[in-house]
Structure 1
């Protein structure tokens, strides 16, 4: 496991439960894997409301545990439960909201900024 800004390169298996246990706090992202220099898999704990933001690229949210919703500007929120995923289209303002702690995997471009553009 590495910090958000590092791109892990290893042939070893990554334990998502161990990575979840090592997260320091809400919204502290960690990179778990880099794929083809174009895609990173990130892990984060959601708890509370994240600020509204948007990105230049799509952002895939995969709920690992807990439940949370993704509020979308001008659209109905999307509720995600474990094993469900949703892609926020590029340019769409959004924010994840979790009343109780939830863990997510994000699949996105390595240059994607956590707080958007």
Structure 2
């Protein structure tokens, strides 16, 4: 059993993570960041939940770049093949559920 106070979590570097669980090839990780990630496509599906802060999620759909501002409590689902990049607006804490070993 674990109890995690996500608002208290910080990392030594941007996108540092706390591993919460590994279940049947799926990982659940809590990330802290204050810097953008990089454009990427995951090996599988990804569920991206903003727990604290705000994140501008940029993604490409049918060759066009789009963006959405995610607030605490918002969820971004990236299906297989969705190219995307997260740009936090200040500090953010994010729960990511994805295939183990995914980018």
Shorter-chain TM-score: what band?
A: 0.7 to 0.9
Deviation at 1:75, TM superposition (A): 4.1
Is 1:49 matched with 2:36? Answer: yes
TM-score by length of 2: 0.84
Question: What is the aligned residue count?
Answer: 100
Partner of 2:94: 104
Q: For structure 1, which segment, 48-57 or 59-68, has the greater mean C-alpha deviation from structure 2 after superposition?
A: 48-57
* Deviation beyond 4 Å, 4+ runs, structure 1: none
TM-score by length of 1: 0.75
Structure with the higher strand share, 1 or 2: 2
Alpha-carbon RMSD: 1.8
**Higher RCO structure, 1 or 2 (CA under 8 Å, sep 6+):** 2
Q: Which runs of 5+ in 2 are unaligned?
A: none
Aligned partners of 2:6 and 2:51 also within 8 Å: no
Is 1:92 matched with 2:102? Answer: no
Q: Which runs of 5+ in 1 are unaligned?
A: 1-11
Is 1:34 matched with 2:9? Answer: no
Q: In structure 1, which of residues 9, 16, 20 is the aligned counterpart of residue 5 of structure 2?
A: 16
**Distance between the aligned counterparts of 2:101 and 2:93, measured in 1?**
21
